[in-house]
Structure 1
């Protein structure tokens, strides 16, 4: 089985599937958010992520940059980080504010559940393109950060794998769009990643987060065949893209694939 990936479509307003955005309570890569916000079917803030979006919106409103403004469809979480003025602002403009006090799930998970329920409801009503999808599919793009606290960074990676393994949270693909990279969990079988120029640098990594796996690649500077990789031994980092199509297959647990964004899409880009 071959899984085709078109990550550039998320960044150039030509996505292959409908997608939702989740903004976590992390520093926002405004350049990356600006690239994906216009074509998203849903914009959801995880609790204090609304505070982050509010700052982004203020910068756009003040004309400090060519940022696309958009209201969140919902703010979801236990709401212990959402400030009163931000909550009042978005409520007054029609955004839903949903308090979920469950202390056994994170705000990230609560947002995934809310999106999944929204998509199922839309599918059952036969709205838009969702009636054409037999399993009510929607991809998710998560705006987060890996440059701060180590435990929070690992938590975000953990949630990518958790979502991929739980159909109650996700039917589709999930991407982490961080300060400098786009990352996602590879699918079982053969993965074919299609790339257009101008969105990613040459730098990629394939990380065996769940344990020892055997990689076979095509389209990289240092291609391998049935190459064992695991933490504590050898790991494929700082490899280089050498083709517009990258093929990756593996035997073992699913690895994480990550690509470096071009400078104009990074948190420090102009």
Structure 2
């Protein structure tokens, strides 16, 4: 990008980075804002289901995936009368955790049970590969310029990948919780548009902010105020708006300054970061 010349000299104005928008409460909210919610997949992992938004999450999505241990958790969470109303699309994993009675129940009701014996990937990763098959395909726009008409198929338009809401991804074993954080990073890597993943526990929702500017909807009627901005992947310089303790071009790193136990004071907060950084916020009313 060049500099503009004027009588008072030259000036270079760098374009502002794109803004990434996050709206975690919309996935379990049934209000007006939920109508604009993008499609998402619900992923159930091997932790006891205690999240109070389970029923709303299930109702709001059409892609429902259980890891093999997650299928046990879903089965045990529901009563015998409720189970037929909550049938996942598929159960995926190496199937070492899936109980025989649970497998028999779901298979008898037409639920696909798929074994993936790859020992170099976790059940979380196996489920993510399945979810990727439901991503909206790229589309093509009819050429309307001379340059575009040089390709017979037109202009390729890449659509955002399916958002994932994961239950049971944090809590329990610490190594598995760290692996879930690792999955947040891998979802933003590779070619094309990254995938948004929200990790829901019984108390918090956690996700990975992209480098650049991030706007997060944090309605005080549903979320907060306690939150944290965690430099899990390495040092990052951040600036924030909408918090009780804001930061301006501040380096955050383990062994240095880390913004934990911060509070949101606005219904929308803004975080600009030089590197991917984990953001976590409590559901309203949690201790």
TM-score normalised to structure 1 length: 0.85
1:91-130: CA deviation from partner (whole Å, max 9, x where unpaired): 111111000111111110010001102335xx489xxxxx
Indicate conservation of the 8 Å contact 1:204/1:241, yes or no: yes
Question: Is 1:49 aligned with 2:70?
Answer: yes
What's the CA shift for 1:195? 2.6
Match of 1:156 in 2: 180
Which is helix-richer, 1 or 2?
1
Q: Aligned residues, how many?
A: 250
What residue in structure 2 maps to residue 187 of structure 1?
Answer: 210
Q: Does 1:207 align with 2:224?
A: no
Could you say if the C-alpha distance between residues 71 and 166 of structure 1 is closer, same or farther in structure 2, counting changes exceeding 3 Å?
A: farther
Change in 2 beyond 3 A, CA 1:25/1:215: same
**What root-mean-square deviation, in Å, do the aligned CA atoms of Structure 1 and Structure 2 show?**
2.4
CA contact (8 A) 2:226 2:281 kept: yes
Match of 1:260 in 2: 282
Whether 1:22 aligns to 2:43 is yes
Q: Relative contact order (alpha carbons < 8 A, sep ≥ 6): 1 or 2 greater?
A: 1
Distance 1:224 1:124, change over 3 A: closer
Secondary structure of 1:71's match?
A: coil
* Residue range with higher mean Cα deviation, 209-218 or 51-60: 51-60
Quickly say closer, same or farther: Cα 1:262–1:35, change in 2 above 3 A: farther
Q: Distance in 1 between matches of 2:235 and 2:113?
A: 42
The yes-or-no answer on 1:12 pairing with 2:29 is yes
1:177 to 184, 193, 200: 200
Matched, 1:81 2:97: yes
Asked if the contact 2:67–2:92 (Cα under 8 Å) also holds between the matched residues in 1, the reply is: yes
- For 2:261 and 2:85, how far apart are their aligned partners in 1? 35
Matches of 1:103 and 1:80, distance apart in 2: 11
Separation of aligned partners in 2, 1:234 and 1:202: 20
Query: What stretches of structure 1 of length at least 5 have no aligned partner?
Result: 63-67, 126-132
TM-score (norm 2): 0.80
What residue ranges of structure 2 are gaps of 5+ in the alignment?
A: 1-17, 140-156
Which stretches of structure 1, 4 residues or more, deviate above 6 A after TM superposition? none
Give, in whole Å, the separation in 2 of the partners of 1:136 and 1:192.
17
The residue number in structure 2 matching 1:130 is none
